[in-house]
Amino acid sequence: MIRTTLHPPVPLRRRGLAPLLAALACPTLACPTLARAQEAAPEPIPRTTRHELASRGGHPFRVFLHVPAGEPPPEGWPMITVLDANAVMGLVVDTIRVLAFLPREAGIRSAAVVAGIGYRTDDPYDLVRRSFDLTPPPGREMPAAEGRPAMRTGGADELLDFIEETVKPLARRAAPIDASRHAVLGHSFGGLFALHALFTRPGAFRDYVAGSPAIWWEDSAVLTSAERFIARTDRPAPLRLLMTVGAYEQSLAPWHDPAWRPRMEMMRMVDGARELADRLRPLPGLELGFETLPDDGHMSAFPVAVQRGLRFILSR
C-alpha cells in the first residue's frame, strides 16, 4: 500500500510574494533588480589596443592602435594617424572594416593600421589639451574667460615629434607598415594641425585630411606657413590633401542660435578653406580635393569628414 501524506497548505504572506510578483509583472530590461543581474559588458573597439604614453615634454596621451585582420598587402599596411581619437576612434575603425569588406566595390585598396591620438579621459574631448597639442607654435597663454579654463596653445610641433618618435614605431612593432602611405586625419583644430604638418613637415605623411580647418586661428598665421610651403622647391611628391567644410559653418543653419552669426562671419570657415584650396591647387606634385558639405555645421561635419577622408586615403 502506498501512503499519501497530505501536508497542510503553507500560508503565503503578501510581503514574501512582493518580489516574485514584481519580477513577473515587468519585462526584464525594465526591472532594476533583473537588469542589474544582466548588465552587458562593454564591447571594446575590435582589434584595438590602448597605450598610455607620454611625449618627450612629459604630456600624457592615450594612443589607440588598430591592426586589421587578415594578411597585409605585400608592401605592408597603410597607416592613418587620427586626431581626437576619444571622439571618433570607433567610427574610424568601423568605417574601415565596412569599406574593406568589399574593397573593390568601395573603391579602396586595403584596410589600414590606425593610430588614434587621444587623452586619458572617458569624455570625447579634452579641450585644454587639444588646444595645446593641435595648434601651431609659437602659441600663447590664454587666461580663463567665460567659463573656459586657462590654457596654452602652440604645441603642434611637440605632437608631431611624438608621432614620429613614439607612435609610428609603436605601429611598426605591431604590424608591417608601408612607409610610403602614412596619413593624418583631423577636424577643426585637428584640421589646422594637418595643414601645419603639411606646410612645415611635408615628408611626415603622404595624405593629409583637414576637416573644417581652423585657418582663422591666431590671425590666420597658418597662411604664412602655407606661403613658405608654396615657395619651396624641394617639396616631396606625391602629396595629397583633402579639405572639407560644412556649408553651415559660415552661415546660420535652421537650428543655430542667431547670436552666433557675428563669430561665424569672423571665422570665414568656408571662404577661408576655399581660398586656401585655390592657392594650393596649381602646385605640381600635390593632389588636392576640396568639398563643401551642404547639410552640415561644424560638429556634424566631423563624421562626414571621416568617411570622405578614409576613402580619399585608402583609394591610392
CA 40 to chain centroid? 26
Report yes or no: 164 and 55 within 8 Å, Cβ to Cβ.
Answer: no
Report yes or no: 169 and 156 within 8 Å, Cβ to Cβ.
Answer: no
59 is catalytic: no
Which of 131, 188, 196, 212 is flagged as catalytic? 188
Average pLDDT over residues 68-79: 97
Asked if the model's pLDDT at residue 208 lies above 90, the reply is yes
Specify the long-range contacts of residues 123-131, CB closer than 8 Å, at least 24 apart.
123/86, 124/84, 124/86, 124/87, 125/84, 125/86, 125/87, 126/86, 127/151, 129/59, 130/83, 130/84, 130/189, 130/190, 131/189
Which pLDDT band holds residue 40 (cuts at 50, 70, 90)?
A: confident
Asked if the model's pLDDT at residue 239 lies above 90, the reply is yes
Which of 66, 182, 196, 298 is flagged as catalytic? 298
Which pLDDT band holds residue 67 (cuts at 50, 70, 90)?
A: very high
Phi-psi region of 212 (alpha: psi -120 to 50; beta: other; left: phi over 0): left
188 is catalytic: yes
Q: Which whole-number Å values give the CA distances from 96 to 42, 46, 79, 109, in the listed order?
A: 21, 11, 12, 11
Which amino acid, 210? A
Q: What is the mean pLDDT of the chain?
A: 90
For residue 42, the model assigns a pLDDT of 73
Asked if the model's pLDDT at residue 23 lies above 50, the reply is no
For residue 39, the model assigns a pLDDT of 67
Which of 249, 256, 265, 300 is flagged as catalytic? 249
Phi-psi region of 285 (alpha: psi -120 to 50; beta: other; left: phi over 0): left
Average pLDDT over residues 195-214: 98
Which is higher by pLDDT, 119 or 19? 119
For residue 19, the model assigns a pLDDT of 46
Which pLDDT band holds residue 103 (cuts at 50, 70, 90)?
A: very high
Phi-psi region of 150 (alpha: psi -120 to 50; beta: other; left: phi over 0): beta
pLDDT digits (tens, 9 = 90+) for 42-55: 779 999 999 999 99
51 is catalytic: no
Among 19-28, 45-54, 59-68, which stretch is predicted with the lowest mean pLDDT?
A: 19-28
pLDDT digits (tens, 9 = 90+) for 117-176: 999 999 999 999 999 999 999 998 888 887 778 889 999 999 999 999 999 999 999 999
Percent of the chain with pLDDT over 70: 87
Strands 207-211 and 177-187: parallel
For residue 149, the model assigns a pLDDT of 84
Report yes or no: 302 and 187 within 8 Å, Cβ to Cβ.
Answer: yes
Average pLDDT over residues 3-28: 45
**pTM of the predicted structure, to 2 decimals:** 0.86
